[in-house]
Structure 1
Amino acid sequence: MVSLTTSLALFSTLLLTPTTLSAPLDLERRDGAVYASTISSCPAIPARTAPPSSVHDLRPDDFSYTMALGDSITAGCFSRGIQNNVLASFGEWRGESYANGMDPGAITLPNIMKRYNPSLSGGSLGSNPIPELCYGALCPIGPIGWNSKVDQLNAAQSGAMATNIPHEVNDYLIPQIRARKIPSTAFKYLNLQIGSNDLCGMCHQAIVGFGPSSPDEFESSIRKALEAVRKNIPNTVVNVVGVFKVSDVYSMTLNQPYCSQLLPVPHVNLECPCMLLGGKVGAATRALMDSLMNQYNERLIKIVKEYQTKRYSDFAVLWQPPNIPLSTFPVHALSSVDCFHPSIKTHQLMAAELWNRLVGNATERAVPLAWSESLQFRCLQEADRIHTDTLI
């Protein structure tokens, strides 16, 4: 017969065991993975019994630092929308950037990773009241143009084109790695997303094919940047996010009052000349944008395949297909400042969905990012690894 004391002890144990009560309420299993509505609801996983043998044997909690390259999207430009102080609306909210934000409580890739490695660092903190501008040839020379206290290891610059990515690597990211004395043996995650500004301003390159923003120059710039990272920042995994269909923003924002809160006329053509033209000319330029997007992504896939074939022990490149169907998204997926940059909601969605795909196979990585107001987070499992040899 079980004593009263033993029964009370057993009852207390059940109450205090998270997996018996609270965990099942928030966890959902599908397709062999476990998901939760918050990353904090995901159970902890045991520490690895042996350290990773190379970049091809990594779980996301093996990363010690996060880094980023890109343009105004990665910089978190305008993402909070219109503020009470209108001038504050035009800042870069880098600490909330999907790619490398690390503000407390923000839903970002680095903060999701921190669930499993609290010592992770390198993410941006806070905001820049004025965007750090760099646009093709109109770009500050040398190491000026960044605020390292806020930016941390996020080298992205608003307005950047592909040709500016080597500048971000050589003039900011590599010097920051050296200045912070980051060990070469530490594993690092690097998010790379670029190409939107090239599409917006140089869509004619879909048929011209040479000179600034041509597919050849685009490919050359990405290669230079990746090689600079490989040679100077070892033990890095680069997640290359493909160029998404920017032209869809036209249909998203057409005749939307949401888009004329700062400027009285919606679709004022300020930031993306190739996208917002009307009539037959606009239809033609948007078709050119889509064609150029496909050419850019073909070059990115070519580059990723080559690195996966070479299989360096201290450097790997991943391919994240840009399946972001903006035409199905609500208008508030965009910033109310300009109806062009992603809103905070979209940054959060991208962070969650790119995290969910980080340990996925090629099929899982290619699943479109469906719009949802209720985010789901894939819980890391002990056997999970980042697939560095899976492309298509």
Structure 2
Amino acid sequence: MPTRSSLYLILLTSFTALTAAKNVTHITECPSLTPRCKPTNVNDLRADDIKVIGALGDSITTGFGIMGFDLSIPQLAAMENAKNEYRGLSYGIGGDKNAFTIPNYIEHYQPNITGFSKGAHPVQTCNPDNCNRTLSLLGNGGDGLNAALTGATSMHLGYELDYLIESMQNIQGIDFENDWKMINIQIGSNDMCGACNTSYVNEVTPEKYGGYIEAAIDRIHASVPNVIVNLISTFNVSQVFPLTEAYPNHCVNRNIDLCPCASVPGGLEIMSQLNNAYNEKLVQIYKKYQKSKFHNFTVVYQPIKFNIPAFPIDFFSTLDCFHPSLKGHEWVSKVIWNQLFLPQSYKPKSIDFDGNQTIYCPVDSDRINVH
């Protein structure tokens, strides 16, 4: 009987009219696409049509803690560099050379893509009192159009958009009005983790969460021409803690304090319920924009219902056993890239970790699937 991963690849490769489609271990193994004129409709976008990429999100998108720290040397000596944001390695917006990221996959087809973040710098934490100040620090160290802020929740997306839109309008070498753009949005872990805080609980309801996401997308539509919003579902972070607790040798610095709700009786169940409710809101938002037929704007949705209890422990950073490691980011980049070319109804309902996950090579007939 075929595994879920093998069925996923079968579905992916079945949606091309050319036999040249294939799956590879590195994007450089993919054939180039045949050059063509710039499309005028968002329904006709190929990978090589994306000239600008940006991102909104939280510490996952900033790349916080990706490299972890060396478990073979004293912990305190290794901690300082481990607390960096490795923005150039972030799955959805990183552009470090040879990194497994969505911008680098696009760059294989569109060498002039811009907006990706590069390198690393010390963490810049956002909380309700200092997000605007933290935002002012972006743009000084290879951040590009990575507007994500460590510690951000959905209520902070407005701050992030302040940076993203202004930076995109001023970025050199693009035609802001006519070049095609992609903005990845993935946020919600901190909303869930704050759900047990009595002074904060009213800001993380599914209704508030959905409202903040929808307001951000409406603002993008009003301010950014020729754009596809890639809306990525939330992770069920409640599943992380039972898994990491079972691996003390890897998780010597396991930091449950990063997620206050995880240490409250009944907190994991609250977070799990919110995860489901948040993703239902995201689906509703996606469907709303599907009904609106704009020629230069659309929203696509990537459901990433990860089977976290079965994940290998090194998916998580040794820094805190909460954030994804480099291995985790690389795998997530492949999963989301592959989904970009699948019709919504064929995207997997549950996703197991696959250490041999390949990368799909789109062909001339493939389009970024917007339905």
Do the structures match in fold with TM over 0.5? yes
Letter of the structure 1 residue corresponding to residue 45 of structure 2: L
Deviations 1:53-94 (A, max 9, x none): 211210111000111000000000001111574310100000
Match of 2:219 among 204, 211, 228: 228
TM-score, L = length of structure 1: 0.83
Letter of the structure 1 residue corresponding to residue 258 of structure 2: E
Match of 2:137 among 134, 142, 145: 145
Gaps of 5+ in 1: 1-26
Which residue is equivalent to 1:19?
A: none
Letter of the structure 2 residue corresponding to residue 253 of structure 1: T
Which residue is equivalent to 2:6?
A: none
Deviation of the 1:374 alpha carbon: 2.4
SS at structure 2 position matched to 1:189: strand
Paired residues for 1:318-357 under 5 Å: 318-357=300-339
Which residue is equivalent to 2:3?
A: none
CA distance in 2, matches of 1:93, 1:301: 30
Letter of the structure 2 residue corresponding to residue 106 of structure 1: A
CA distance in 1, matches of 2:13, 2:166: 44
Deviation of the 1:203 alpha carbon: 4.7
SS at structure 1 position matched to 2:53: strand
CA distance in 2, matches of 1:326, 1:338: 16
CA distance in 1, matches of 2:251, 2:352: 26
Max Rg structure: 1
Aligned 8 A contact 1:66 1:188 in 2: yes
Total equivalences in the alignment: 349
Aligned 8 A contact 2:23 2:359 in 1: yes
TM-score, L = length of structure 2: 0.88
Which residue is equivalent to 2:148?
A: 156
SS at structure 2 position matched to 1:64: strand
In the alignment, does 2:193 pair up with 1:211?
A: no
CA distance in 2, matches of 1:30, 1:215: 36
Deviation of the 1:259 alpha carbon: 4.3
SS at structure 1 position matched to 2:61: coil
Gaps of 5+ in 2: 1-8, 16-20
Deviation of the 1:204 alpha carbon: 7.2
Aligned 8 A contact 1:34 1:379 in 2: yes
CA distance in 2, matches of 1:287, 1:112: 37
Which residue is equivalent to 1:273?
A: 260
Deviation of the 1:341 alpha carbon: 0.1
Aligned 8 A contact 2:225 2:296 in 1: yes
Which residue is equivalent to 1:252?
A: 243
Match of 1:88 among 75, 81, 86: 81
Deviations 1:27-64 (A, max 9, x none): 9995455211221111222112x431211210111000
In the alignment, does 2:192 pair up with 1:199?
A: yes
Which residue is equivalent to 2:228?
A: 237
Letter of the structure 2 residue corresponding to residue 136 of structure 1: P
Aligned 8 A contact 2:33 2:48 in 1: no
Which residue is equivalent to 1:78?
A: 65
Q: Would the alpha carbon gap of residues 221 and 30 (structure 1) be closer, same or farther in structure 2, given more than 3 Å must change? A: closer
Letter of the structure 1 residue corresponding to residue 23 of structure 2: Y
Deviation of the 1:367 alpha carbon: 4.9
Q: Would the alpha carbon gap of residues 296 and 137 (structure 1) be closer, same or farther in structure 2, given more than 3 Å must change? A: farther
Paired residues for 1:4-23 under 5 Å: none
In the alignment, does 2:33 pair up with 1:45?
A: yes
The percentage of aligned residue pairs carrying the same residue is 32
Deviations 1:324-362 (A, max 9, x none): 111110111000000000000010001111111111112
Deviation of the 1:119 alpha carbon: 1.2
My pick for the range that moved more, 308-317 or 340-349, is: 308-317
Which residue is equivalent to 1:118?
A: 111
Q: Would the alpha carbon gap of residues 30 and 385 (structure 1) be closer, same or farther in structure 2, given more than 3 Å must change? A: closer
Deviation of the 1:372 alpha carbon: 2.3
CA distance in 2, matches of 1:292, 1:34: 38
CA distance in 2, matches of 1:379, 1:42: 5
Deviation of the 1:149 alpha carbon: 3.6
Q: Would the alpha carbon gap of residues 242 and 136 (structure 1) be closer, same or farther in structure 2, given more than 3 Å must change? A: farther
CA distance in 1, matches of 2:22, 2:235: 28
- For the aligned residue pairs, the C-alpha RMSD in angstroms reads 2.3
CA distance in 1, matches of 2:271, 2:95: 33
Aligned 8 A contact 1:244 1:322 in 2: yes
CA distance in 2, matches of 1:362, 1:224: 23
